[in-house]
Structure 1
Amino acid sequence: MSAYDRPVSGRPRVLASWLADKGEGPHGPVTVTRLGLGCTNATWLVTDQARRQWVLRERINPDPRSFDREATLLTRLRAAGRPVPQVVGYGQQRGRHFMVLRFVPGVVLDDEIQASRLNAAQRRRLGESIIDTLAGLHTVDPRVIGLPVFGSSHLDRQIAAVSDVWMSFGTSSVHDSAWCALRTRLLARRPMRESRVGVVHGDYRLANIVTREDAQVRTVVDWERCTAGNPLMDLAWLLNSWRAPGEPIGCPLSPTRIGGFSSREELAGFYADRTDIDLHEVTFYRALAYWTSATLLQAAETRRRADASRQLLGSVDEEITFSLIEAASLLRRPTW
């Protein structure tokens, strides 16, 4: 790839000029460093000579989507007083869409090493702070931040969307028969009524939360999957990622496995105390979340195998198997 064809992450001078045009005025050249792994977006830390920092999010080709939707959501959520990053702007470079955010200093607990630095009181406080933030998010009217409220149910849309992903990426997988059997059981077990429509983050877990040193939430990141829907989906997603000692390490990793954190039951209790949302069907939504996670992991793995440049995601097959087994187990349980 020539310098001319590189995306903005590979053209620091172009990026610095773009930042200057947005009024950010970087001091001297900027450096661009990759942060973590990403299946649909690459995330980069941008630093100037005065150590001012920004976060660059960039689509991984081929992906024609602009960041305008996510930028609008973040701007309106910030105006509503919710803890989200400040948007600098978004654009396109050589056909690759990108967005730049102001960097938020803090700690991201995305592995067990980071989690081990918290003492017992901080681990407990973190669970309550994460639920406080989630409950606050779920009080926002989706229409206020520009999210359409559809006539069809969120559950129907979720199952249909996940099914479409599997049809594109999962039918040749060794997990296909188990996945299909679970879909049938989910449809048979679906709740007759859903809770009120709220803002759903779509990937609410520790890796997408920046905390302060005292283990309080500072900001929530990665709003790509945000939608108007059933708030129980966010709670279920968080509970599934909040693994206890002895459970699989997870893919992505689950730092709560080291122990000392609030239990899933305690998190659900914190949420019930802070909202008017009935948790009667949260077990169903946890099964749905596991099924959805297995689907997204299979899609990511199928793309990776077709593109040698993509990085390994970890023990994907084991995690897909675990997710499908857990979903089946949850569907056998009574309601919460």
Structure 2
Amino acid sequence: MTVRPATSARQGRVDAGMWTQPDAVATWLRARGIEVSSPLAITRVGIGQSNITTLIVDAEGREWVMREPPAGTTAGQTHNLDREVGILRGLAGTEVPVPAVVGTGTCSGGSPFVVMERASGSALETEEDARSLTPDQRYALGTSVAVTLAKLHRLDPAILNITVSEEPYLLRQIRRVSSAWDRVRAGSRHDSCWSALRDTLADHLPADSPAVIMHGDYRLSNLLVADGRITAVLDWELCTVGDPLADLAWLLDDWRPADEPAIVMPSPTRAGGFPSRAEMIDIYREITGRAVENLDYYRAFTQWRAASLLEGVRFRRLSGAMGTHAAIDPDALEDSIGVLLASAREHLRNSG
């Protein structure tokens, strides 16, 4: 996992969280019977643009991972850590590897946080990270990525003990994404294109697929890898019970070859040596036994959704809510939103 320096408290609202309070974190860990040697070093890690993820290292080199929402997050937004913790505990012991939860807490300012054990390995976030693996390792890893998603989709959703909506996943996602877009649309030059795609997606909903446990953001940068094998699947905040093909399509969108336009969120697969998208689909189909149909619609939906999420990131960046860590230029975000929406239009044309 790439470790980047922490941002000072003067550089943004994000610094109000627990991750800026190493003494308080040490006290919290000790209260749970965990041996800790001070001082602690806490640094931002990863390229995530939603919850803040940090690496905690004590004076003896012991490590933990902490996640918390950015400053200013309100209840009801997609940062529900208690729900994510429940999902991690539900998945513990299954064929899908997840980090073990140490516990949850609330910082002095009232914001929640969760601390997890540090799983071995690091995330492949960039093409350079992928090139640290041999071509054979990249191919084997890609196969494992498809296999792990298929195994997730074969689990009984009841193990999560979460309320399952009776409304079809795609329909409720279109409604939720639309609601989030309403908060940022005034500052977007893509609003007209976005709205046209939304209307077409809503008018051509496919038949419901059998509901499965969905990760919601399944891609290489959300996996820890050691020696070319997956050691943990991370970032379950968007997990739900819903349409498996939306999860698969999201992974395929991230599975970019070098001849496709790059976007601001890096695609390690552009380094080459990974299975093709067609091969990933075949692996998934073989394990799940599920028909994989109308993927063009799902690719259009997931790219429209990704563009919507990036507009939200752009809004938060412009407002200063995420500090300077892993900062992405707002103009670059806007360009990537345009690339995604154009690709979504093309997939919709192909979906018939």
Identity %: 37
Alpha-carbon distance in 2 for matches of 1:6, 1:261: 40
CA distance in 2, matches of 1:17, 1:64: 26
TM-score by structure 2 length? Answer: 0.90
- Are 2:30 and 1:17 aligned? no
Is the contact between residue 249 and residue 298 of structure 2 (CA under 8 Å) also seen in structure 1? yes
**Partners of 1:51 and 1:158 in 2: CA distance:** 42
Tell me which residue corresponds to 1:310: 323
Q: Distance in 1 between matches of 2:181 and 2:290?
A: 30
Cα gap change, 1:309 to 1:74, in 2 (>3 Å): closer
Equivalence for 1:74: 88
* Structure-1 residue corresponding to 2:287: 274
Show the 5 A alignment for 1:43-192.
43-65=53-75, 67-93=81-107, 94-191=109-206
> C-alpha distance in 1, partners of 2:322/2:98?
31
Q: Work out whether residues 64 and 96 of structure 1, in 8 Å CA contact, stay in contact via their aligned partners in 2.
A: no
Q: Which residue of 1 aligns with 2:350?
A: 333
Q: Structure 1 residues 20, 81: CA separation in 2 closer, same or farther (over 3 Å shift)?
A: farther
The C-alpha deviation readout for 1:80-109, integer Å capped at 9, x for no partner, is: 342000001111112221110100120211
Structure-to-structure mapping, 1:34-49, within 5 angstroms: 34-49=44-59
TM-score scaled to structure 1, two decimals? 0.94
1:209 aligns with 2:223: yes
Worse overlay, 52-61 or 23-32: 23-32
Please say if 1:322 is aligned against 2:339.
yes
Q: Which moved more, 1:107-116 or 1:289-298?
A: 107-116
Question: C-alpha displacement at 1:38, in angstroms?
Answer: 3.7
Q: Against the structure 1 CA distance between its residues 167 and 12, is the aligned structure 2 distance closer, same or farther, given a 3 Å change threshold?
A: same
Partner Cα separation in structure 1 for residue 140 and residue 94 of structure 2: 24
Per-residue deviation at 1:332?
A: 1.1
How many Å apart are 1:241 and its aligned residue? 0.5
> What do residues 249-276 of structure 1 show as CA deviations (whole Å, max 9, x unaligned)?
2221111112221111111111111112
- 1:200 matched residue in structure 2: 214
Report SS of the residue matched to 2:159.
helix
Alpha-carbon separation, structure 2, partners of 1:67 and 1:308: 18
Change (3 A) 1:15 1:162: same
Kindly state the Cα deviation for residue 156 of structure 1 after the two structures are TM-superposed.
0.8
Asked if the contact 2:72/2:321 (under 8 Å) is kept, the reply is no
Give the structure 2 partner of residue 252 of structure 1. 265
Indicate conservation of the 8 Å contact 1:170/1:299, yes or no. no
The superposition leaves residues 63-86 of structure 1 with CA deviations (integer Å, 9 ceiling, x where unpaired) of 244521111110111143420000
The one-letter code sitting in structure 2 at the alignment partner of 1:30 is L
**RMSD of aligned Cα (Å):** 1.8
Q: Cα distance, 1:309 vs. partner?
A: 6.2
Specify every segment of 5 or more residues in structure 1 that has no aligned partner in the other structure, as ranges: none
Correspondence for 2:246:
233
What's the secondary structure of 1:138's corresponding residue?
Answer: helix
Amino acid at match of 2:290: I
Q: Which runs of 5+ in 2 are unaligned?
A: 1-8
Task: Please point out which of 274, 286, 306 is paired with 1:293.
Answer: 306
Q: CA deviation at 1:6?
A: 4.5
Contact 2:171/2:202 (<8 A) preserved:
no
- Deviations along 1:292-331, whole A, 9 cap, x unmatched? 0000100110122122763332421111011001100011
Q: Give the 3-state SS of the residue equivalent to 1:98 in structure 2.
A: strand
